[in-house]
Structure 1
Amino acid sequence: MAAVVGIQQQRRPAAFALRTLAVAACYFAAGRLGLLCRLDVEGAVFTPVYPPTGVALACLLVFGLGCWPGIMLGAFFLVLSLGTPGPDVVGILLGNTAGPVCAYLMLRRVGFRTDLGRLRDGLALVFLGAMAAMLISPTVGVLTLILAGKLAATHFWPIWLSWWVGDAMGVLIVTPVLLVLLGARWPPPLNRWKEVLALAVTAAVLVPVATRSSLSALFLVYPLLVWAALRFRLAGSMLCALFASVTASVAATDGTGAFAGLSHIQVMLKLQLFNGSLALTALLLSAVITEQRNTRLSVEEACQELAEALEHLTAHDHPAGRAPPPEAEELRRARDER
């Protein structure tokens, strides 16, 4: 018995270390991918969608609060890859870690479910996880850089806004996708592959045209988003939103299509308005559809249980040879039709 306890105590630190390294690696990889699409705002470089914040919140929701050292470690290696860090790196690491941790604590407080099957879960992720909690990292980070003399105080608001929007978009777009992928049923049903293929081909053709057309046709993405939400709920809508956001970010970085001829500030504002409305539409619409579907299934199950109960009662109350009451017959027919 003592040997078994000793082995378990040895495994716990090893499992914690492996989980910390895995979270740090995912955070670092997401950060490097996000930096492929950069925008310059008042001399500072930002990403329209900052994936590490979405990865960090998803890890906290799946593994719990104990994975916060992995988030801080991943943020440190990401800063280290951009240059030699100074004393101001402490404030940046604290802000980048405190934001997702605060989002996790607030979501747990309101009973957030990772399946995002209720409208309240979508609203909580938008207003608590993205908009409220992500105020921490830009505030701490920008103030730290100003105090360190790396940024001018007059540039506080443009840089702060770009930082905050990038972090919020990471939560709105990346976190739902990761939660859906972790909770998805694999492999998907075979009877849906034709429609999945049709949706994928349509998205591959329509989204690049909408983002790179000189006619500023970004609105063409929304019917595709509605189709994905109605037929595939959260999985389809959020994957389409992620693809459209990445494609639009690349077009904005290249200065083509709907983002041609605009200043850096105008490109940032237009791209973030598009990404924000895209993520909100996909998340809230799919949450409403999923909630209505779950309600319908619950009503159908209740009707089936009531029909079985009436059938059981009538079998005892009416001897053989006598017909059951018409109410039981109607419920039985309705059950058979379903």
Structure 2
Amino acid sequence: MAAVVGIAELRRPGVYVVQVLAVAALYYGSGRLGLLRELSVGGAVFTPVFPPTGVSVAALLILGIGCWPGITLGAFGVILSISPPGLDLVGILFGNTAAPVCAAILLHWARFRIDLSRFRDGVALVFLGALAAMTISATVGVGMLVLTGKLAAHAFWPVWLAWWVGDAMGVLLVTPLLLLLRGVRRPLSLRRWKEAMALALIACVLVPVAAYSSISLLFLVYPLIIWAALRFQLAGALLCALFTSVMATIAATDASGAFQGLNPVQIMAKLQAFNGTMTLTALLMSALITEQRNTRRSVERACQELMEVLEHLTAGAGPVPRPQTEADETGAGDDTGGRSRPTR
């Protein structure tokens, strides 16, 4: 027994190191992927959607707070890949690490379930994990740029808004998908696969047209999001939202389609407003539908269990006695069996 315990203790540090390195690699890879599309606001370059924040929050929720060094390592690699290290490096690393850690702590306090089976889980992820916690990374990061002279003071708020929304969008789009992938169990039936393929084909045609149309047809994606949420819940709605966000981001960074003729600030405002409302619609609507379906299944299960209990009680009670009538009560003590006696 002592040898087994010793081997288990020796394995734990190795598992922890692997987890930290895996988080760092995922952070770096998703960061490089997000940097493929950039926008410039106030003299600073940012990504409209920063996937590493979503990877970080998901890793902390699944693996625990202890994997936070992987976030710092990954952020360090991403920063070195785009600019030489400076005085602002420590502050930015602190902000990029503290924001996901704060998000995980806030979600833990809110009793967040990683299966996102309740509407309150979707609300908590939106307002606590994304909008509230990501103010830390934006405030610390942009503040360090201003303090070190890399950013003018008057550009603080436009850059802060772009940084904050990019981090929040990473949480809203990436974190739920990673949490859902962890809980995937059964495949779809053939009929559902046909509907899923039809939805995917329509999305591949409709979304690029909406994003690249010069008359701004981005609103056409909302019926698609609603269809995906109604039929495929969170997985379908988030996949449609992610694809739509990617196409809209590409069109925005190319300054084409619905974003043609706009200055960088207007492009940022329009893109982030669309991405935010579209993702919120997908996440909250699908979470609400999932909660309603789970409630209905719970009620059906309870009714089924109640019927089984009633059947068991009926089967073990024997024949049910016939209720007495008024005639029975009248002739109960009569030796003539309840028949009237002849009168003299």
Task: Name 1:289's counterpart in structure 2.
Answer: 289
Indicate the SS of the match to 2:94: helix
TM-score scaled to structure 2, two decimals?
0.91
Task: Name 2:32's counterpart in structure 1.
Answer: 32
Indicate the SS of the match to 1:205: helix
Moved more, 67-76 or 147-156: 147-156
Moved more, 160-169 or 173-182: 173-182
Alignment coverage as a number of residue pairs? 322
1:43 aligns with 2:50: no
Q: Give the residue type in structure 2 aligned to 1:211.
A: A
Q: 1:154 Cα shift?
A: 1.1
Task: Name 1:164's counterpart in structure 2.
Answer: 164
Task: Name 2:135's counterpart in structure 1.
Answer: 135
Task: Name 1:20's counterpart in structure 2.
Answer: 20
Q: Give the residue type in structure 1 aligned to 2:50.
A: Y
Q: 1:189 Cα shift?
A: 3.2
CA distance in 1, matches of 2:221, 2:321: 63
Indicate the SS of the match to 1:157: helix
Task: Name 1:219's counterpart in structure 2.
Answer: 219
How big is each residue's C-alpha offset from its partner over 1:290-317, in whole Å with a ceiling of 9 and x where there is no partner?
0110111111111111111111122233
Q: Give the residue type in structure 1 aligned to 2:275.
A: N
Task: Name 1:151's counterpart in structure 2.
Answer: 151
Instruction: Give unmatched runs, 5+ long, in structure 2.
Output: 323-344
Indicate the SS of the match to 2:181: helix
Change (3 A) 1:247 1:321: farther
Q: 1:188 Cα shift?
A: 3.3
Task: Name 1:65's counterpart in structure 2.
Answer: 65
Moved more, 190-199 or 45-54: 190-199
How big is each residue's C-alpha offset from its partner over 1:200-227, in whole Å with a ceiling of 9 and x where there is no partner?
1011111000100111000000000000
CA distance in 1, matches of 2:316, 2:310: 10
Task: Name 1:315's counterpart in structure 2.
Answer: 315
Task: Name 2:259's counterpart in structure 1.
Answer: 259
Moved more, 310-319 or 131-140: 310-319
Task: Name 2:113's counterpart in structure 1.
Answer: 113
Indicate the SS of the match to 2:319: coil
Moved more, 177-186 or 255-264: 177-186
Alignment of 1:182-261 (within 5 A): 182-261=182-261
Indicate the SS of the match to 1:114: coil
Q: 1:111 Cα shift?
A: 0.4
How big is each residue's C-alpha offset from its partner over 1:216-262, in whole Å with a ceiling of 9 and x where there is no partner?
00000000000000000000000000000000000001111100000
Structure with the bigger percentage of helix = 1
Change (3 A) 1:28 1:186: farther
Q: Give the residue type in structure 1 aligned to 2:100.
A: P
Q: 1:87 Cα shift?
A: 2.2
CA distance in 2, matches of 1:270, 1:218: 11
In percent, how many aligned pairs have the same letter? 66
CA distance in 2, matches of 1:175, 1:235: 12
CA distance in 2, matches of 1:180, 1:278: 19
CA distance in 1, matches of 2:28, 2:150: 23
CA distance in 2, matches of 1:300, 1:186: 21
CA distance in 2, matches of 1:206, 1:143: 41
CA distance in 1, matches of 2:184, 2:239: 13
Indicate the SS of the match to 1:87: coil
Q: 1:26 Cα shift?
A: 0.2
TM-score scaled to structure 1, two decimals?
0.93
Q: CA RMSD in A?
A: 1.4
CA distance in 1, matches of 2:151, 2:268: 19
CA distance in 2, matches of 1:233, 1:321: 52
Moved more, 124-133 or 175-184: 175-184
Task: Name 2:299's counterpart in structure 1.
Answer: 299
CA distance in 2, matches of 1:127, 1:112: 12
Instruction: Give unmatched runs, 5+ long, in structure 1.
Output: 323-338
Task: Name 1:55's counterpart in structure 2.
Answer: 55
CA distance in 2, matches of 1:316, 1:3: 55
How big is each residue's C-alpha offset from its partner over 1:268-301, in whole Å with a ceiling of 9 and x where there is no partner?
0000000000110000000110011011111111
Q: 1:5 Cα shift?
A: 2.8
